[in-house]
Structure 1
Amino acid sequence: MRQTLDSTVNGGSGYCKYGWSKYAAPSGRCATFLEFGNIESPMYARLRHFFSTIYNRIHVKPSARPIVVALPLCHSDDTEAARASRKQYKETLYSVLFDMNVPAVCAVDQALLALYAARRTSGIVVNIGFNVTSVVPIFQGRVMREIGIETVGQGALKLTGFLKELLQRRNISFESLYTVRTIKEKICYVAADYEAELCKNTQASCEVDGEGWFTLSEERFKMAEILFQPQIGGVRAMALHKAVSLCMDHCYNYEVLRDHSWFKTVVLAGGSSCLPGLPERLEKELHKLLPPYISEGIRVLPPPFGTDTAWFGAKMIGTVSTFSDAWCINKKQFRQKSRHSGSSLVNAWR
């Protein structure tokens, strides 16, 4: 039995899922470590508080089992400063866990875990996060930062916020943003053809515990349309299909790799990527936008395990026979590596 903890621990956004790799689903879910620590406190202290809280919730000592942790896609570019920042974060993460006596740690990029959950090692992962959407090219299990990661300045929070605005325009009252998010998850979707959908009767209702029934019509698909037409929601950001097509164009022109099929599988990830109709609409828009020599063969796959996709990617890693030897680093290896590199980054983050 090995322990798997899949957490989105990037500052200020989203939720994490945690649990044992032998289980069929995560044991629990919670907000990121900002729920547990002051944003003004040092990174080391915040991560220490976060992992302590999670271990208490699953009622296990940190020293009991190895751990798989999903790394947030912080600093999407490949500049020297971004590489240094990613290294700082990762070293701080290792330092926290080894100081808590975790025997071995496997830290993997969140986008890569989503790709593994789809049983692939190459492709493009489109992760609709809490604040931003990331378009990540991955080749044979490696994030291709040299090709470029596209970042779109809107995510789940913007979608929920726009739905809130649409409800307020119709004088529909609700208790909280949680209510709006619940409505979004229950009856909202992505239109295959936005203009055609406006001419249809799209009325539907759903019940929110403690608040009763809500009836929506065009709000159901208008909310998600800002992914493709950000301007209708007053959002200044690149359209999703344009960001993905730009990434594909970079992949096609990357001369080091002659194979042009590896990037044509697009895997969606993140809670809002579960909206019905999104894979089909994105695929349709990509075929319209890209030339045939690039668009031929493109497939957009929905999140294979819904909102828990990255956790299941971690679960797959945690259950392979070579997990501890091939995927993990232990405390001794980490200390040796830090000494050889002369790293003083960890202490700086305490």
Structure 2
Amino acid sequence: MLWIYFLQNQQDPWDAVFFAETNLRSGFPLRTYPRQMQSFMHIYGERAQVPGAIIIDGGAGYCKFGWSKYDSPSGRSATFVEFGNIESPLYARLRHFFATIYSRMHLKSSTQPIIVSIPISHYEDTGAAKAFRSELEEAIYSALFGMKVPAVCAVSQATLALFSARRTSGILVNIGFHQTSVVPILHGKVMHKVGVVSVGVGAVKLTEYLREQLRQRNVHISSLYTVRSLKENLCYVALDYEAELRKETEASYEVASEGWFTLEQERFKTGEILFQPHIAGMHAMGLHQAVAHCIDHCRAAKITTDHTWFNTIVLAGGTACLPGLAERLNKELHDLLPPSISNGVRVISSPYGADSAWYGAKLVGNLSTFLYSWCITEESWSKSKRTLIW
């Protein structure tokens, strides 16, 4: 009880520390059987000696970077800007990307270990997708070890986002910059064989649709930043779309240096395209249909005797912060799935939105066992490559 009181008064939330130290200590792949828990005193002593890690979480839209000992990312930048010439080889682009981030942080790459999130893309179980994932990981390790980084931890962005919600198994729904990915994860591992469902509706589509609705009311806004600010501060997802159409929903918001703007039904129509893409002229399945599709695949795969591992649906990404989204998805799934399945399904949101993967990496980087259970050095990486070749 004394240690719980002590942890409750630490900078990091005590439940996050407890989750990490009881579920993630063994490294990847995660243990699927109980292990003996060490005392809090011993664990805290180990945590105090961990130097922390540099975290680089590069998504399709923005990159978040910082030190795992910080409360939040220390910087953000547009990912495509940092990647340099798109026609350059993958290794060269990654090298340029990492060098730019280190420069922005005013750090030498040789000073600390690093955690890199592997983007949610090419998650199919095809030969081409596997080859790309292998090429990407090879390029990440080659670029970082070429920059004299002492140790590297490369983990799926989806897995890290799931960790931020204090889960190691479930279905991660990441509403990203360009698309939404529905990713089944078991014990921290992305289940490629089950299948990742992708929907071509992301944050950019919602922002563009909001701007188009405003144009129809003769409200012309050229700045996407302004439109995005209105989306983030005024928009929400209706629990019952048809009922919401009959309500008074007008609200206003002031954008710095731009003035006041008033939204009417655009407030809930914008988020509605996640469930009814055809409203915005898109031919795609709704979010609830994509998640139900993934649940069906998980059930059919029968990869474990535990049939509840996919019952928790975790929402991540900036758009996942729209008020009412979790409740609406939960309602739609219960209407779409048989009661024998839907009764066990629960939809929750990661508390960190667009920074979910960064905070998941923070949990890993501050672990008492981080350096020897999650990291790989250049020497061990070279050995593993030689083993594969032989």
Q: TM-score, normalised by structure 2?
A: 0.85
Which amino acid is 1:2 matched to?
A: G
> Cα deviations across residues 84-131 of structure 1 (Å, max 9, x unaligned)?
110000100110000000001101101100111111111000001111
Residue in structure 1 matched with residue 211 of structure 2 by the alignment: 164
Q: 5 Å matches for 1:1-350? A: 1-9=51-59, 13-342=60-389
- CA deviation digits over 1:38-66, x for unaligned, max 9? 21121111111111111111111100000
Other structure's SS at 2:110 match? helix
List alignment gaps of at least 5 residues for structure 1.
Answer: 344-350
Kept in 2, the 8 Å contact 1:174–1:211? The answer is: no
The one-letter code matched in structure 1 to 2:194 is I
In structure 2, what is the Cα distance between the partners aligned to 1:36 and 1:255?
A: 40
Unaligned 5+ runs, structure 2: 1-50
**What is the rounded CA distance, in whole Å, between the counterparts of 1:76 and 1:20 in structure 2?**
28
Structure 1 counterpart of 2:100, which letter?
Answer: T
Deviation (angstroms), 1:306: 2.4
Which amino acid is 2:76 matched to? R
TM-fit CA distance, 1:33: 4.2
The runs of 4+ residues in structure 1 deviating greater than 6 Å are: none
Aligned counterparts of 1:171 and 1:303: Cα–Cα separation in 2: 37
Letter in 2 for 1:108: V
Amino acid at match of 1:4: I
Give the SS at the match of 1:151: strand
8 Å CA contact 2:314, 2:350 repeated in 1 = yes
| Distance across 2 between alignment mates of 1:38 and 1:167 | 35
Per the alignment, in what secondary structure is the counterpart of residue 331 of structure 2? helix
TM superposition shift of 1:3? 2.0
Structure 2 counterpart SS, 1:120: coil
CA shift at 1:164, angstroms?
Answer: 1.0
Counterparts of 1:199 and 1:6, CA distance in 2: 45
- The CA deviation at 1:196 is 0.5
Displacement of 1:307 in angstroms is 2.1
Cα distance in structure 1, aligned partners of 2:90 and 2:75: 23
Amino acid of the residue matched to residue 23 of structure 1? Answer: Y
Secondary structure at 2:213 match in 1: helix
1:257 alignment partner, SS class: coil
- Preserved contact between residue 252 and residue 294 of structure 1 (Cα < 8 Å): no
1:225-268 CA distance string (max 9 Å, x none): 11100100001111100000010111112223222211110111
- Displacement of 1:36 in angstroms is 4.3
For residues 197 and 26 of structure 1, the distance between their equivalents in structure 2, rounded to whole angstroms, comes to 37
Q: In structure 2, give the amino acid aligned to 1:243.
A: A
Alpha-carbon separation, structure 1, partners of 2:121 and 2:151: 23
C-alpha RMSD of matched pairs (Å): 1.3
Once residues 121 and 352 of structure 2 are traced to their aligned partners in structure 1, the CA distance between those partners, rounded to angstroms, is: 23
CA contact (8 A) 1:4 1:314 kept: no
Of the structure 1 ranges 246-255 and 108-117, higher mean CA displacement relative to structure 2 is found in 246-255
Q: Which amino acid counterpart does residue 5 of structure 1 have in structure 2?
A: I
Question: Normalization by structure 1: what TM-score?
Answer: 0.94
Contact 2:82 2:96 in 1 (8 A): no
- In the TM superposition, residue 188 of structure 1 has moved relative to its aligned partner by 0.6
